[in-house]
Amino acid sequence: MRQIQDKRLAELLMQLKYTPQQKRYQQLEALDDLVAAIDPEKEYPFEFVHFRITGFHLKRAIEPDGISGRQLLEDLRVFISKLSTHAAPETASLPEAVLTIGALAKDLGVSTKTIDRWRKRGLVARKFVFPDGVKRLGVLQSSMDHFRAAHPTCVCQAGEFRRLSNRQIEEIVLRARAFAAENLSRHQVIGRIAEETGRARETLRYTLINYEAAHPEDAIFDRPAGVVTPSQAARIYEVFKAGKPVEELMKQFDRSRSSIYRIINQRRAAALFARKIRLVPSEEFQDEQTCRAILAEGMDPDTKRTRHGLDSYEMMGEQLLPEYLQVLKEAPVLNGETELKLFRRYNCLKWLALKNRSKIKMTQVSSRLLSESEAFLAEAQGIERRIVEANLRLVVGIASHHAASGAGFAELVSKGNYALIKAVQEYNYTVGFRFGKRASLSIAKEYARVSGKSRELSPTKAASIGTIQRHLRETIDIAAIERARHSLTHVIRNELDAREQHIILYHFGLVGSDVKKQTKTLKQIGEDLDLSKERVRQIELVALQKLRQCLSSKEFELLTH
């Protein structure tokens, strides 16, 4: 196999081989996106490549030399193949089809050498474990669809185009003129000739387009050729999204109804393929009946309601404070049952959208599959927003503690919101722990990266913190929470031994008031008790099992949330 030419990429590959399996899967997905974005004619700095693959900026200076797009594509092809050897998923566990190089060549009617040439032009192939247990090079259906959309002429000509003689071209042109005289559309004419000659539609279409381009004075059809440039297609789609009826688009762009709809659907499909769909897969989603049952479950009407709050939580400024406070006041806290139900449906919807997307062909877009996928993702986005809004209090609470260290409050809230959204997308609802613990950890980690790097807290920002905290307290019955917390503490002291009490009380913040509670990490508790972090975790699990037996579900939920 060809070796990676750029030594920096070769060094990065060696480092990534030792990352966890799940992390390598994410890096391979990032590599797929990177390959699709590379222009062979441009040059790219290594810092850009490193960040797109790992998600992290380089911490040390390196050689400033860039990498040409053509060489980068070649190196990334080898990079993906070698990295996937160490992280090859089973094809049966994936929501879309995977074809071996040989099967793909046979399916498209081309040679394996042609597939290899396509790989050099950006077709992504990597290692998978196929049902027979053998690890082979394969191509995801979505990767092939991406390549087909980017190189339609290349794929069509390679698989279907056969060289025609001048005599054959003349016969095709004569038949086209005869059918066009009957007022048939270009599409209908090509269909008739295809039936008569047995030739592929794409071969006939390109033959007629090339003839008209070479003989503009002797056009066969009144309408322009069916080929639409990317800029024209983008304009049609832009005008359609602005609300212009299809009938007016037909007149404005001199295209048939079917042509307009085909362009619109292809642009919608391209947008769908470009969308990054993050989800936590589950074996239950592979059962079609289970998926139908999940979708049939009644949802809280509040989940589907559009809030009047912020359009995006990732860019918080002082001017958006009133809207942010309004969302904090209105968004109800989720109980454990509702939270589990929402996350289950959220990931199932994304799974179904991804499954549908893998079936969509750019050459003939299925409007049904496209609309279903868009509807699934739209509902999933609504659920994501609902979960985020229900947990914004976490962001405010944790940001308040970190703002005193010098970080700007608006910046902290923005970064905390970003960490919260990412936590929603990555949360594994099957683990049994509440989402709040996972989100709190993600937000705290995000703050650890920015702590002390921003300007000193100004009086205006300090006032913002006080305003938010005051409004937040107004939305919560602190007295009721304190009573419930006192009841919990009483049960804990009666049911657990001294060591277990110390771990539970400090880890879950039951020491101090709700406004200023004291919490400790497992490592800090271990230092208190002269135990390892893992041993503290084991004792905590035993203590939680004891408490589960003697607490009501609501009390246990209050403890672990």
Least confident of 204-213, 260-269, 393-402: 393-402
Q: Letter for the amino acid at 306?
A: T
pLDDT at 335 > cutoff 50: yes
- Fold (CATH) for 283-474: Four Helix Bundle (Hemerythrin (Met), subunit A) (1.20.120)
Question: Degrees (nearest 5) of the Cα angle 381, 385, 386?
Answer: 115
pLDDT value at residue 556: 63
Where is 381: in which H helix or E strand? helix 367-390
What is the C-alpha to C-alpha distance for residues 332 and 387, in angstroms, rounded to an integer?
Answer: 10
Angle between helices 141-150 and 21-37 (to 10 degrees): 10
The whole-number pLDDT of residue 344 equals 92
pLDDT at 71 over 80: yes
Phi-psi group of 198: left, alpha or beta (phi > 0 → left; psi -120 to 50 → alpha; rest → beta): left
Residue 519, SS3?
A: coil
Angle between helices 553-560 and 478-495 (to 10 degrees): 100
The SS3 call for residue 434 is coil
> Other C-beta atoms within 10 Å of 37: how many?
13
Average pLDDT in the 492-503 region? 84
For 135, the token pair is 């690890």
Q: pLDDT grade, residue 60 (50/70/90)?
A: low
- Chain centroid to Cα 486, Å, comes to 43
CA 280/CA 287 separation, integer angstroms: 16
Q: pLDDT value at position 363?
A: 73
If one compares 304 and 352, the residue with the highest pLDDT of the two is 352
Average pLDDT for residues 89-111, to the nearest whole number?
80
Residues comprising the chain, all counted: 561
Say yes or no: domain 478-560 is CATH 2.40.30.130.
Answer: no
Q: What DSSP line would sit under 299-339, residue for residue?
A: --HHHHPPPSS-S-SSS--GGGHHHHHHHHHHPPPPPHHHH
pLDDT at 325: 66
Question: Coil, helix or strand for 183?
Answer: coil
Question: In terms of Cα–Cα distance, which of 385, 373, 371 is closest to 304?
Answer: 385
CA dist 465 and 469 (Å) reads: 6
- For position 443, what pLDDT does the model report? 83
Identify which of 118, 116, 120, 138 has the alpha carbon closest to the alpha carbon of residue 128. 138
Nearest to residue 502, comparing CAs of 536, 472, 468? 536
Per-residue model confidence (pLDDT) at position 92: 82
The residue with greater pLDDT, 253 or 469, is: 253
State the distance between the two ends of the chain, measured CA to CA, in whole angstroms. 52
Q: Which two tokens stand for residue 86?
A: 């160490």
Residue 262, Cβ neighbours under 10 Å: how many?
19
Average model confidence (pLDDT) across the chain = 76
Domain boundaries, the chain: 7-156, 163-273, 283-474, 478-560
| pLDDT at 348 (0 to 100) | 93
pLDDT-based confidence at residue 353 (cuts at 50, 70, 90): very high
Of the pLDDT bands very low, low, confident and very high (cuts 50, 70, 90), residue 211 is confident
Element (H, E) at 135: strand 135-140
**Backbone dihedral angles phi then psi of residue 138, each to the nearest 5 degrees:** -145, 170
Do 283-474 and 478-560 fold alike per CATH? Answer: no
Predicted local confidence at residue 349, as pLDDT: 93
304 CB contacts (<8 Å, ≥6 apart)? Answer: 379, 382
Higher pLDDT, 408 or 303: 408
Asked if 362 and 345 count as a contact pair (C-beta separation under 8 A), the reply is no
Is pLDDT above 60 for 358? yes
More confident residue, 20 or 8: 8
- The tens digit of pLDDT for each residue in 452-478 reads 444 444 444 444 445 555 544 544 444
